[in-house]
Structure 1
């Protein structure tokens, strides 16, 4: 299986996991056309799409996916806000869903609108964790092979930007209550069992309040695991 990042920022988030015969899309914050390109135009092999919440950079194009009859899992509030079609199903925390050969368990996280993360299992890559747009992940997971985890901002960079006037002071409280900082992301990883972990992928880095090189280095140092930052065009063999 190959993971491809189509976008991982406030401009739009979308990821594709695929092999020759099946695929799973995570987030619908970019047009279906962009996913089709990565899929070599074969959307028939798409088992489903997972959406974390209703904000535009994660769900703006969700209706394109349901209009194409792609099964889509999302919080109930997202389905209502985006008036999604019959192929959309509202998820329940802790319940297991099957999309083709992918098994998916959503879990509630903490944003300024209802939001979920996902635990995904497939026989080819094992267990994959996905969480973004949350200020905390209060759960422990065993045997995760691949972590896709938000690392949106650094407290130090954010404070420097506020002092210099580049970022409004009110932004600090909003970020602290809606997004995962690099320090908190590292905290989540260190609280969990990483013995089976093969990859850590940092998601949704802020354009102005993060440092990709330093974030990747910090996570590698803290975990000893291969770490990369998600950005357009990045591919990873799971």
Structure 2
């Protein structure tokens, strides 16, 4: 009763997120080379044979550049919106291009993938949740501004990849030209550390156990700064920064966070068997 997740890479140099069960998996985006994808999957002990689909969030190159070679080599279907494909042609076998609509739920084996629209400077940008085995994982990056869509879906997640792109002060005082600073902060760019933290604090469900802070800027952020910022408000859960240079570990996400299981174990020592069954129910999962 769990899902396995990993970031193969996260940042403006390429994004690829793995979510799967014991039988099948999906990629959310594939923005690093096929060779690097294969290498990192092998390092993590994950099999490309389990990857049954790639879901495309939007057309920017750091999210799609690895797709043509991966699809040609492995025959993996690509789920994409018509507007995204129209804005950035991907030369793929037409039989492997599958379109999805906003809020549609796609079922792949034991996984259910749901899309929802977001604010970003792209043709038809979407974020996703992936559910299976009573677990829901969110992939929430490249989001210009927190919105109700993000809040609603975040509240359902046992683990999430959450963008924490830039520190406001570092960006303001950094070397980027004015037009680029404006693009990042204009409501269709990226989430700042402060915005991401507010999303987490206001919407974290009690059963969320893992948070992977994602898509950090190389020039306008600092992993240690971000970790300290979130550890202040999440001392009881696993918080990591998804690297722009290497894969994360594979995380095993259960429906029941460790803190809840500890409570349940204590209750088992002092209650009847019937009471223990009630103690293992988590509302909202």
Common fold, TM-score beyond 0.5?
Answer: yes
- The CA distance in 1 between the partners of 2:57 and 2:70, in whole Å, is 14
Aligned-residue RMSD, C-alpha:
2.0
- The CA distance in 1 between the partners of 2:166 and 2:136, in whole Å, is 26
Check the 8 A contact 2:16/2:29 in 1, yes or no. Answer: yes
Map of 1:92 onto structure 2: 101
Check the 8 A contact 2:29/2:64 in 1, yes or no. Answer: yes
1:197 to 2:212 alignment? no
Shift in Å, 1:205: 0.3
1:157 to 2:164 alignment? no
- The CA distance in 2 between the partners of 1:88 and 1:137, in whole Å, is 30
Runs (5+) with no aligned partner, structure 2: 253-285
> Cα gap change, 1:182/1:234 in structure 2, threshold over 3 Å: closer, same or farther?
same
Q: Which of the residues 18, 26, 31 maps onto 1:16? A: 18
User: Counterpart of 1:235 in 2: which secondary structure?
Assistant: coil
Runs (5+) with no aligned partner, structure 1: none
- The CA distance in 2 between the partners of 1:39 and 1:146, in whole Å, is 20
User: Counterpart of 1:28 in 2: which secondary structure?
Assistant: coil
Bigger drift between 204-213 and 92-101 goes to: 92-101
Map of 1:79 onto structure 2: 85
User: Counterpart of 1:147 in 2: which secondary structure?
Assistant: strand
Q: Scaled by the length of structure 1, what TM-score is found?
A: 0.89
Map of 2:119 onto structure 1: 110
Shift in Å, 1:7: 1.4
Q: Which of the residues 221, 227, 238 maps onto 1:226? A: 238
Shift in Å, 1:42: 4.1
- The CA distance in 2 between the partners of 1:221 and 1:117, in whole Å, is 27
1:168 to 2:177 alignment? yes
Q: Scaled by the length of structure 2, what TM-score is found?
A: 0.75
Check the 8 A contact 1:47/1:71 in 2, yes or no. Answer: yes
1:209 to 2:220 alignment? yes
Check the 8 A contact 1:62/1:82 in 2, yes or no. Answer: no
> Cα gap change, 1:178/1:234 in structure 2, threshold over 3 Å: closer, same or farther?
same
Check the 8 A contact 2:118/2:127 in 1, yes or no. Answer: yes
Map of 1:4 onto structure 2: 6
Shift in Å, 1:229: 0.5
Q: Which of the residues 8, 29, 32 maps onto 1:30? A: 32
- Larger Cα-atom Rg: 2
Check the 8 A contact 2:40/2:247 in 1, yes or no. Answer: no
Check the 8 A contact 2:162/2:214 in 1, yes or no. Answer: yes
- The CA distance in 2 between the partners of 1:195 and 1:205, in whole Å, is 26
- The CA distance in 2 between the partners of 1:56 and 1:210, in whole Å, is 21
1:48-98 alpha-carbon deviations (Å, 9 max, x no partner): 112211000001122223333212222323323233432222221111101
